[in-house]
């Protein structure tokens, strides 16, 4: 029998808040210091071995669609493993689905962002219905009578998993259905029809090609009504207490996000209620999209953090060639580079979340431009970070028992859904062109702090933004990448230690980031890694 040697202990228990210096600083800075105690408790709960195991179980036993009961009646229900339900209960108890709306205060969106950033490190599938419910509130408020009925249940912190009419439940969750088979980015191609049925009610007939978390209590959906594409709330049960005419055709067999169900559905005269003005469905539902896009940036930042924490932890314990991996100069370079990416993502995400806590003109402009920019760049970087962090663990990183394969499989989804990469970049161009004060707000954010490299980068970026060809679609990715990098660098200059700033500006502002571990000489790499290390 061989003796187990040179294997690191599992990174558990690990308080996901207390052990993350960058997150703690961001929460304080972005005005959610009042939430620190609650976040410390949530970080402890999520980082317990029992909770970590729930994340593994929820993915090992994915959901199962039951279209019919034993007698042949349609039931269209999805069954989940108990681990899924336990994780949902933890997330709802912490208010991650609605706390900034139920209890609005300065820093409320930041506090909630910090909570979801930690949730996704343990399990990302549950994040989907949590994000959609959070995002649904401003859209639901456009129909006050619907909001009056639904918001109290959405604000409840009870996770009521029972499949029954929402009136009989203590809590409710909201999903969304926009994407159809023939088009997801171009929503004008939606074909689902909505026939008026009186008093704001409509009957919907058609399909949705993606509808995640189909056991939510209701869905915000788009359909073509007599006045054009409109937004509706479609509950799983009718007001009469009957199952609504929603058939779940099948569940998608997904690359990752396997604990969560994503379905294809058909509506056959399904009851729905109009939300907002008829014919203005896209702007009304995009209100929700802004929040779910923020959540994509939060979720991807959380994935990067978990991948980095696992990598640094492993390198601290594993020895190769008589030295800990963390002390091998080339490994220090790789880890430091990963830490820079993670910190830059976190500071930008939390700054963006603060813009959702404010409602002055500058905050609105910041949200409008930076939400798609942050979603694009942060989500694009995540697959690279999770892959490189996996390699730090060597062969063990490729094995399912480590969390690394799950993080890697999860990494692309935030970039694809809620507006894929190109669509986000085109949206940034549109936002800059149409948003009052956008250019001034960006200029005010792009602090160079006396750093010559940063000043030069900013000057070139601002010149490109003002140039006649700034809306050249073919160059949109390059422009948005540089905007995101400039915003990240400016935040790091303002708030992070100088060794982080030096390494970030030296490595990110010259367009040479083709792989991790290419940081140049003369930087304090060890200090960067120590700052990122998860304290247990
Ligand atoms: C796991 C998962 C869960 C999902 N859950 C939901 C859900 O709950 N509800 C829901 O409504 N949808 C959901 N979606 C669907 C998702 O939002 C869409 O897949 C996404 O918006 C892209 O739409 P599409 O698949 O039709 O791709 P398309 O619109 O065909 O786009 C394909 C590619 O073309 C690019 N592209 C599009 N237009 C342009 C352009 N003008 N210039 C350059 N490039 C362009 C896009 O960026 C993309 O890369 C989910 C998707 C996934 C993967």
Is residue 413 lining ligand 1, measured as CB closer than 6 Å?
Answer: yes
- CA-nearest residue, atom 16 of ligand 1: 417
Residue for token pair 């919907």: 204
What one-character DSSP code corresponds to residue 514? Answer: S
Q: What integer pLDDT is reported at residue 511 of this predicted model? A: 66
CA gap 314, 249 in Å, rounded:
43
Q: What integer pLDDT is reported at residue 284 of this predicted model? A: 97
Is residue 361 lining ligand 1, measured as CB closer than 6 Å?
Answer: no
Percent of the chain residues topping a pLDDT of 90: 95
Output phi, psi for 173, to 5 deg: -125, 150
Q: What integer pLDDT is reported at residue 469 of this predicted model? A: 86
Per-residue pLDDT tens over the stretch 464-501: 998 988 889 999 999 999 999 999 999 999 999 999 99
CA gap 351, 348 in Å, rounded:
5
Residue 416 Cα to ligand 1 midpoint, Å, equals 6
Residue 397 Cα to ligand 1 midpoint, Å, equals 30
Percent of the chain residues topping a pLDDT of 70: 99
Per-residue pLDDT tens over the stretch 13-47: 999 999 999 999 999 999 999 999 999 999 999 99
- CA-nearest residue, atom 33 of ligand 1: 420
Per-residue pLDDT tens over the stretch 196-225: 999 999 999 999 999 999 999 999 999 999
469 CB-contact burial (10 Å; exposed 0-12 / middle 13-18 / buried 19+): exposed
Predicted structure pTM score? 0.98
Residue 113 Cα to ligand 1 midpoint, Å, equals 24
Is residue 15 lining ligand 1, measured as CB closer than 6 Å?
Answer: no
Is residue 176 lining ligand 1, measured as CB closer than 6 Å?
Answer: yes
Residue 459 Cα to ligand 1 midpoint, Å, equals 34
CB within 8 A of 476, min separation 6: which ones?
A: 422, 425, 426, 428, 429
Q: What integer pLDDT is reported at residue 512 of this predicted model? A: 65
Residue 65 Cα to ligand 1 midpoint, Å, equals 24
| pLDDT above 80 for 514 | no
Residue 179 Cα to ligand 1 midpoint, Å, equals 7
Q: Which residues pair with 180 in a beta bridge?
A: 183
CB within 8 A of 215, min separation 6: which ones?
A: 77, 78, 80, 161, 163, 236, 261
Average pLDDT, the chain: 97
Is residue 115 lining ligand 1, measured as CB closer than 6 Å?
Answer: no
What is the number of the ligand 1 atom nearest to the C-alpha of 177?
A: 11
Which pLDDT band, with edges at 50, 70 and 90, does 179 fall under? very high
Is residue 257 lining ligand 1, measured as CB closer than 6 Å?
Answer: yes
- Residue 450: CB atoms within 10 A of its CB come to 8
Residue 187 Cα to ligand 1 midpoint, Å, equals 10
- CA-nearest residue, atom 30 of ligand 1: 183
Collapsed DSSP state (helix, strand, coil) of residue 344: helix
Is residue 412 lining ligand 1, measured as CB closer than 6 Å?
Answer: no
CB within 8 A of 450, min separation 6: which ones?
A: none
């Amino acid at each position: 029998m061989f003796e187990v040697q040179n294997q690191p202990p599992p990174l558990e228990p690990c308080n996901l808040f207390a052990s993350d210096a960058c997150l703690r600083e961001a929460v304080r800075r972005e005005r959610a210091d009042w939430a620190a105690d609650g976040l410390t408790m949530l970080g402890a709960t999520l980082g317990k071995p029992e909770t970590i195991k729930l994340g593994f179980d929820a993915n090992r036993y994915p959901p199962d669609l039951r279209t019919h009961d034993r007698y042949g009646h349609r039931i269209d229900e999805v069954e989940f493993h108990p681990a899924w339900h336990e994780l949902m209960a933890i997330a709802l108890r912490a208010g991650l689905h609605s706390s900034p709306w139920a209890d609005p205060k300065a820093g409320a969106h930041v506090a909630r962002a910090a909570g979801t950033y930690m949730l996704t490190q343990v399990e990302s599938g549950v994040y989907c219905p949590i994000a959609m419910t959070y995002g649904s509130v401003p859209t639901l408020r456009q129909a006050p009578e619907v909001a009056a009925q639904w918001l109290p249940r959405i604000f409840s912190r009870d996770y009521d998993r029972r499949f029954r009419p929402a009136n009989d439940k203590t809590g409710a969750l909201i999903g969304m259905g926009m994407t159809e088979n023939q088009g997801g980015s171009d929503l004008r191609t939606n074909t689902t029809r909505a026939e008026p049925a009186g008093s704001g009610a409509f009957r919907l007939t058609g399909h949705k090609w993606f509808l995640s978390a189909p056991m939510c209590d209701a869905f915000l959906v788009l359909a073509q009504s007599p006045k054009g594409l409109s937004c509706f709330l479609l509950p799983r049960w009718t007001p009469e207490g009957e199952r609504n005419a929603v058939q779940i055709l099948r569940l998608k067999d997904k690359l990752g996000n396997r604990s969560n169900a994503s379905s294809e559905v058909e509506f056959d005269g399904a009851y729905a209620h109009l939300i907002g003005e008829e014919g203005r469905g896209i702007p009304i539902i995009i209100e929700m999209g802004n929040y779910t896009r923020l959540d994509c940036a939060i979720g991807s930042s959380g994935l990067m953090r978990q991948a980095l924490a696992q990598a640094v932890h492993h390198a601290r314990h594993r020895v190769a060639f008589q030295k800990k991996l963390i002390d091998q100069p080339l490994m220090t370079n790789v880890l430091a580079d990963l830490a820079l990416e993670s910190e830059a993502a976190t500071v930008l995400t939390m700054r963006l979340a603060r813009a959702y806590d404010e409602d002055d003109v500058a905050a609105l402009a910041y949200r409008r431009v930076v939400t798609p920019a942050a979603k694009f760049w942060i989500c694009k970087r995540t697959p690279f970070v999770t892959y490189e962090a996996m390699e730090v663990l060597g062969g063990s990183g490729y094995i399912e028992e480590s969390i690394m394969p799950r993080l890697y499989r999860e990494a692309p989804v935030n970039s694809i859904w809620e507006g894929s990469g190109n669509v986000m970049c085109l949206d940034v161009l549109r936002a800059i062109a149409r948003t009052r004060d956008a250019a001034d707000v960006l200029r005010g954010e792009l602090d160079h702090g006396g750093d010559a490299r940063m000043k030069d980068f900013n000057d070139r970026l601002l010149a490109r933004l003002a140039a006649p060809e700034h809306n050249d679609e073919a160059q949109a990715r390059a422009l948005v990448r540089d905007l995101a990098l400039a915003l990240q660098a400016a935040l790091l200059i303002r708030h992070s230690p100088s060794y982080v700033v030096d390494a970030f500006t030296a490595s990110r502002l010259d367009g040479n980031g083709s792989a991790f571990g290419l940081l140049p000489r003369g930087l304090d790499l060890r200090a960067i890694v120590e700052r990122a290390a998860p304290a247990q």
